[in-house]
Structure 1
């Protein structure tokens, strides 16, 4: 599917800059198969991307509390 997209758009995937993250429930063999298929060998998840948290989880209030606090400080 990615090859079709690349051929249609003229864009290319930079495998050195690409990374992939799997959820905790994803089985090891599936992870390996996807990584090999996509030619992406590293898994990473930084704490933030573009200033927003990458792993929100169940508690949305706790995750975005810092944002609410920052906005409230500016409003005051």
Structure 2
């Protein structure tokens, strides 16, 4: 699927910069198999991507409060 995307878009995936995130219940053996197949070894979830939080969860109000406050300051 990723190869098809690359061929269609002309973009390339940088495996050195790529990372993958698994849920808590994912078995270790499955994680390793997926990382090996995708050629991605970095297993992490950064706090932000393109300036936005990556893990929003249930509390969207608290997660985006900083954004609302920043916009409100500019409006005032």
Asked whether the two chains share a fold, i.e. TM above 0.5, the reply is yes
Q: Structure 2, unaligned stretches of length 5 or more?
A: none
In the other structure, the counterpart of 1:42 is 42
In the other structure, the counterpart of 2:16 is 16
Farther off after superposition, 46-55 or 13-22: 13-22
Q: Structure 1, unaligned stretches of length 5 or more?
A: none
CA distance in 2, matches of 1:44, 1:66: 23
Change (3 A) 1:71 1:12: closer
Taking the TM superposition and a 5 Å limit, the aligned residue runs for 1:1-76 are 1-76=1-76
SS at the partner of 2:42?
coil
Alpha carbon RMSD of aligned pairs, Å? 1.7
Change (3 A) 1:75 1:8: closer
Q: TM-score, normalised by structure 2?
A: 0.81
Name whichever structure is richer in strand by fraction. Answer: 2
Farther off after superposition, 32-41 or 9-18: 9-18
Q: Report how many residues are paired.
A: 76
Q: TM-score, normalised by structure 1?
A: 0.81
